[in-house]
Structure 1
């Protein structure tokens, strides 16, 4: 039996499994796969690993099969293919049963736990806690005295706790990982732990410690021969230095940090070039370009970004890098007032983003754990919209209308990707082909897009198959502050402190467009809001001391128009499900108003009812399976947060997440009468931040 070590360094988590291989053909395929991975040829690597896995399975070499699956999962993870990675890890975990191989079990748990650190909760069940899996992996690694695996598990636990802001606890694991890696003779893995400890200090704003720990990592890397693992740690070090440049107390220290980052990137570039690793090279070149852009060396930044784009175009699976450098070219062109070129750069970046299937909030060499799509990528869409709004000043007639459609489509694209990121799936694709113009359904409806930009709020009104443009000269910061104050004071119903804020928001949003709404005879307003405005009931905007917006118009809010299938509903055939919990359960107080809600709704329409002990998750699933409901009303305790994992609704026997609710409702989308309206009446359904 051939014993061989494969070093697979995953995004920002090192996983270094030791593999035992049998059949010569399978071993040859694995060796070819490793060689392709080192070059950044992910597709070729995956093909070889899959063939090796199939051979081991056919020859009933179960241990070798599991080892190969773990390696394959690691490659999927490094390419952002989260669903495939989880599937491979879970298959390996299932095959582990009965092997009594503690090292292999530790390796599998460690891989799966590391995947969940950087990915969203869509990919795991509620009981699948990465901290539990990683703790088990660490315990098993120590039991079998595998110090490499111990160092990797410590590193992963440190990253997990850093993401939870338990900085001191994370530091303990990083330091234990450093010692274990050194004892194993793995200086590169010790360096990786040091670099993650440095990233921990970035979040703690301890910049001097960040520099010290990065320098410790670099000293260790000087002892390591050039390889993929070393180059990726160098990229991580460069990114960490770059994060603290703008926090430097003076220009001299900022220059020092830029020089340190540049030196780390340069070493990584040299290694990637020597190894012909296109994927790694495009990132290292692009990150260096970003550093030069930050330092005002714009021509050098443009040249490096161009090189990064060329390299990305010559390799597979690099779209997640390509959009970043296309975006940079667009920014640099805009900075030089090359409007047409800048527009093309932004369009290229957005087109690339639309085709990327992996999670763009997880980035090669990133020092952060999972961030929202808005935080990481949303800026591109708003910069692009701002650029188009500036270009709009030079257009008239048909050309102006075409440009307004482009702006609207850019906003809609952001809304689609943002919602998909929240639910961690492509939730909009199922209805996109069925989109209709709202004016085809209701010629008295207007869609209002609010686009916050640094120095103004741009307003688009889509009515009667024509888009109109208005500008409110107020900064987005002041606008959002007023929206938050309105929301805050609306929660105190015993006073009218909200009214001045409601009037101000009315003046900013409605007053500029009111003449158009009257001219077109608009009766329904459909808002597509942004930021803090998503937390405000827009119907409560104040016309004056006695009248609200809802007194003049029907008002609704949509996350994006392309996320709704617009079609008329036959009211006579509507079937309604009411699910409510009025009794105290699971430590939550009773909700007597739920019974009143049921009676009031029953007074105006027929209902199927799940109440209290019949309102269980299984009961709800059964109702959705047996009844074609168009309207679903849920009244219970609930919690809504910016992260999907912290968002749930309470049932009599348990609670269920929005993912689980989505899975119950989704089959209805394939019926002629899908769920058209879902209302939730809970303590916090109107609470949370703008992402929730």
Structure 2
């Protein structure tokens, strides 16, 4: 009897355990279904509940992998990384497939985190692929190869990506219907993704070769075939949230191909509508507000493109409604922007302005969320997704201002346009420096109060078919419109810059016999002792485009500039790459008329300005030796020695081996400096990671530079002027020039003196030393000091050798002009 009861208890326990196991398995299916329906936060909660109730290794790993993947999709990268780090040691001991999938997921995470993590993403991808080959599970291999294709596409290796997708498809086709560890639904979803990704790669490759075809329809024949293969597979898979986005991707690719054709292809139009109609149906079936917002919004975009504005408006308003239910500011921004475009096309300008303003308001919130929490990383596509919203609204405001019926309306619209450009400048710099912590003022509606009667601010705004010039004087705003295409303006800028950035006589420079003493070599008087024979025709090639740019940017405003002495320029795009000082009116350079300043914008909190002392305290730093593969700068030592004498400094400059980050940190921490002068190679790149100042044994990044300058701000004694006398920006790179424009703001200093290109080493001291001589007069502003130094090169016979603007126009004053 006792044995019977024991067996009965054991039987009941087994039934209970079996029921618990079955419930846990069902819970995993429910969590997965929740995830597939697009309810990400709810899915995470369900997986976390499973983790709290089960000790089964395979179930815990499935939940952890699901949580990590979902956090990545939400942009919560830190949480995703923590989850992966918890799962990896468990999977290593028990589940080889999950271990490979976790490394693959870690690679996806690192790739999502941006350029700085690309190498780590590749390392994790290689690990995942090695593990997958050892396990030899075809679907696992296909999963890793699909990610490999995605990774290669980000570095523009389209051939490699296409090959990876083709291999992934072969593995999927070779697998059995129910492959180990993967469900039929998993396999169908992967097959659909790979087909869509392959179609995009085929399009990228065909785009590169399209110039060889007269018939563009033939040029994209393979892309269209790939789309036609992907659409039915994506339509017929299990209804999921990701299916909606697969169908949207197909419609977007259809439109991309269509944009390459000279005449519309009915087949592509049909494909786009078919895909978006299907996406909308799936979104309704899932009853997912986010999916419904995207499906309606992109369908509305298709109608907008077809100029069916009433239908587009209806769908866009539906997208706004569903986006409002999700409280997604990213979605609200997208559809408010679209609403603005549609209303503008319908001639409903006031409604369009309101829609654009709401879009920018939500965009600002989204960008803050990106920086603080990692959600929705849209800033990586700043040029495509952020800039157009601002410029379309600025365009609309300026058009309305031009035709305003009265002065008060015109002034209000111009003020809105100017403030919007200031807001854009802030967003652009925050994007470049990947920081929301740049010191932006809360309000900038009273910029005119910062100006005296002899100072004006010029905002040149480059639009698609015209150039708008906004001139802010202390007594108001002036608008001038100049008809010129963006392409023609860029070509003129290129013609201007090309001869300016190269030494006007490199052959004679190479023949110069250097004297024994370095100091004599670098003195302007030594170089001036030999007349430089210049080919006038060759070396004046900059002059015609200089005159053209003057006629576009300055001449229309001459009546308003008659009493102006200092001109502050808040430039944009390709205009950031030009030295305004070298613009020419046919008789003289612009620097001969005005003291010029480049500003990233006027809506910034610069550190509190200190009264400039006649005897400012200066920290002198530099490299004259060749280090880390960079050439020597022989005249850097002469430059620093001369400045040491000029400022009567008892201590020696931090030269060569003394120029280390730690030594500069010590100096900045122990002493108060109003000027920091660095005579070393500096490089401004489109990629912030490649923007630096060279030290003896390291590279001083912008973040490290900011940390050093913060030492003085914390002591309430901030640096007034930072000089980088040998830096350069990448040729023709608008974004690299953006880094130069924002250097003062990033470093937390009042002003910066820097160069657009690396000037001849012997000529640099001529401008720089004279700038400091002039600056010792407390009645002269920094802008006037630089103007006098550059004018001296043009007028003093001693500097006749350096009159070509290559030698002096590269030097810019950035930030505060006082």
Q: Structure 1 residues 172 and 575, CA, compared in 2 at 3 Å: closer, same or farther?
A: farther
Equivalent residue in structure 1 for 2:325, among 314, 323, 326: 314
Aligned to 1:548: 589
Unaligned segments of structure 2, at least 5 residues: 1-19, 208-218, 505-538, 737-818
Aligned to 1:482: 492
Map of 1:248-267 to 2, 5 A cutoff?
248-251=261-264, 253=265, 255-267=266-278
Aligned to 2:281: 270
Aligned to 1:300: 311
Cα offset, 1:538, TM superposition = 1.2
Cα offset, 1:688, TM superposition = 4.9
- Contact 1:583–1:612 (CA under 8 A) maintained in structure 2: yes
Map of 1:485-500 to 2, 5 A cutoff?
485-494=495-504, 495-500=539-544
Question: Going by fraction, where is helix more abundant, 1 or 2?
Answer: 2
Matched positions, count = 651
The residue matched to 1:226 in structure 2 has which SS? coil
The superposition leaves residues 243-287 of structure 1 with CA deviations (integer Å, 9 ceiling, x where unpaired) of 111223533x2x211110111122222112111122122112211
Q: Structure 1 residues 487 and 314, CA, compared in 2 at 3 Å: closer, same or farther?
A: same
Q: Distance in 2 between matches of 1:343 and 1:524?
A: 34
The residue matched to 2:310 in structure 1 has which SS? helix
Equivalent residue in structure 2 for 1:347, among 342, 347, 357: 357
Cα offset, 1:38, TM superposition = 4.0
- Contact 2:68–2:83 (CA under 8 A) maintained in structure 1: no
Q: Structure 1 residues 436 and 391, CA, compared in 2 at 3 Å: closer, same or farther?
A: closer
Asked if residue 634 in structure 1 is aligned to residue 644 in structure 2, the reply is no
The superposition leaves residues 159-217 of structure 1 with CA deviations (integer Å, 9 ceiling, x where unpaired) of 22222221111112112222334424512212211211211122222622222222332
- Contact 1:372–1:422 (CA under 8 A) maintained in structure 2: no
Aligned to 1:96: 88
Aligned to 2:201: 200
Cα offset, 1:575, TM superposition = 4.9
Aligned to 1:115: 109
Asked if residue 468 in structure 1 is aligned to residue 469 in structure 2, the reply is no
The superposition leaves residues 440-483 of structure 1 with CA deviations (integer Å, 9 ceiling, x where unpaired) of 55524322111112232111122216322222233333222222
Aligned to 1:247: 260
The residue matched to 2:568 in structure 1 has which SS? strand
Q: Structure 1 residues 203 and 681, CA, compared in 2 at 3 Å: closer, same or farther?
A: farther
Asked if residue 155 in structure 1 is aligned to residue 146 in structure 2, the reply is yes
Q: Distance in 2 between matches of 1:553 and 1:30?
A: 71
Aligned to 1:14: none
Q: Distance in 2 between matches of 1:491 and 1:602?
A: 30
Q: Distance in 1 between matches of 2:30 and 2:713?
A: 45
The residue matched to 2:477 in structure 1 has which SS? strand
- Contact 1:232–1:268 (CA under 8 A) maintained in structure 2: yes
Q: Distance in 1 between matches of 2:60 and 2:722?
A: 46
The superposition leaves residues 291-311 of structure 1 with CA deviations (integer Å, 9 ceiling, x where unpaired) of 222223222211111111111
Aligned to 1:383: 392
The residue matched to 1:215 in structure 2 has which SS? helix
- Contact 1:506–1:543 (CA under 8 A) maintained in structure 2: yes
Q: Structure 1 residues 501 and 304, CA, compared in 2 at 3 Å: closer, same or farther?
A: same
Q: Distance in 2 between matches of 1:365 and 1:442?
A: 39
Aligned to 2:602: 561
- Contact 2:330–2:366 (CA under 8 A) maintained in structure 1: yes
- Contact 1:86–1:112 (CA under 8 A) maintained in structure 2: no
- Contact 1:434–1:565 (CA under 8 A) maintained in structure 2: no
Q: Distance in 2 between matches of 1:24 and 1:550?
A: 81
- Contact 1:480–1:531 (CA under 8 A) maintained in structure 2: no
Q: Distance in 2 between matches of 1:619 and 1:528?
A: 35
Unaligned segments of structure 1, at least 5 residues: 1-21
- Contact 2:139–2:171 (CA under 8 A) maintained in structure 1: yes
- Contact 2:455–2:566 (CA under 8 A) maintained in structure 1: yes
The superposition leaves residues 103-129 of structure 1 with CA deviations (integer Å, 9 ceiling, x where unpaired) of 4553343233323434433xx46x843
Q: Distance in 1 between matches of 2:656 and 2:125?
A: 38
Equivalent residue in structure 1 for 2:159, among 152, 168, 172: 168
Equivalent residue in structure 2 for 1:612, among 656, 674, 677: 656
Q: Distance in 2 between matches of 1:652 and 1:98?
A: 46
Cα offset, 1:78, TM superposition = 2.2
- Contact 1:386–1:453 (CA under 8 A) maintained in structure 2: yes
Q: Structure 1 residues 364 and 89, CA, compared in 2 at 3 Å: closer, same or farther?
A: closer
Q: Distance in 2 between matches of 1:431 and 1:277?
A: 38
Map of 1:181-580 to 2, 5 A cutoff?
181-182=172-173, 183=175, 184=179, 186-204=187-205, 205=207, 207-221=220-234, 224-251=237-264, 253=265, 255-316=266-327, 318-357=328-367, 371-392=380-401, 393-428=403-438, 430-433=439-442, 440-443=449-452, 444-464=454-474, 466-494=476-504, 495-518=539-562, 521-545=563-587, 547-563=588-604, 565=606, 567-572=608-613, 575-580=617-622
Equivalent residue in structure 2 for 1:586, among 623, 628, 642: 628
Cα offset, 1:39, TM superposition = 4.4
- Contact 1:242–1:258 (CA under 8 A) maintained in structure 2: yes
The superposition leaves residues 90-143 of structure 1 with CA deviations (integer Å, 9 ceiling, x where unpaired) of 56337735863554553343233323434433xx46x84322222222222333
Q: Please, what TM-score do these two structures have when normalized by structure 1?
A: 0.84
Q: Distance in 2 between matches of 1:173 and 1:354?
A: 38
- Contact 1:581–1:612 (CA under 8 A) maintained in structure 2: yes
- Contact 1:420–1:426 (CA under 8 A) maintained in structure 2: yes
The residue matched to 1:526 in structure 2 has which SS? strand
The superposition leaves residues 568-610 of structure 1 with CA deviations (integer Å, 9 ceiling, x where unpaired) of 3332385544443322223332222332332243343358843
Map of 1:661-676 to 2, 5 A cutoff?
661-665=705-709, 672-676=716-720
The superposition leaves residues 481-539 of structure 1 with CA deviations (integer Å, 9 ceiling, x where unpaired) of 22222111212342222122222222222222232233xx4332211111111000112
Q: Distance in 2 between matches of 1:138 and 1:421?
A: 34
Aligned to 2:72: 77
The residue matched to 2:200 in structure 1 has which SS? helix
Cα offset, 1:334, TM superposition = 1.4
Q: Structure 1 residues 390 and 210, CA, compared in 2 at 3 Å: closer, same or farther?
A: same
- Contact 1:435–1:565 (CA under 8 A) maintained in structure 2: no
- Contact 2:162–2:202 (CA under 8 A) maintained in structure 1: no
The residue matched to 1:448 in structure 2 has which SS? strand
Q: Structure 1 residues 418 and 334, CA, compared in 2 at 3 Å: closer, same or farther?
A: same
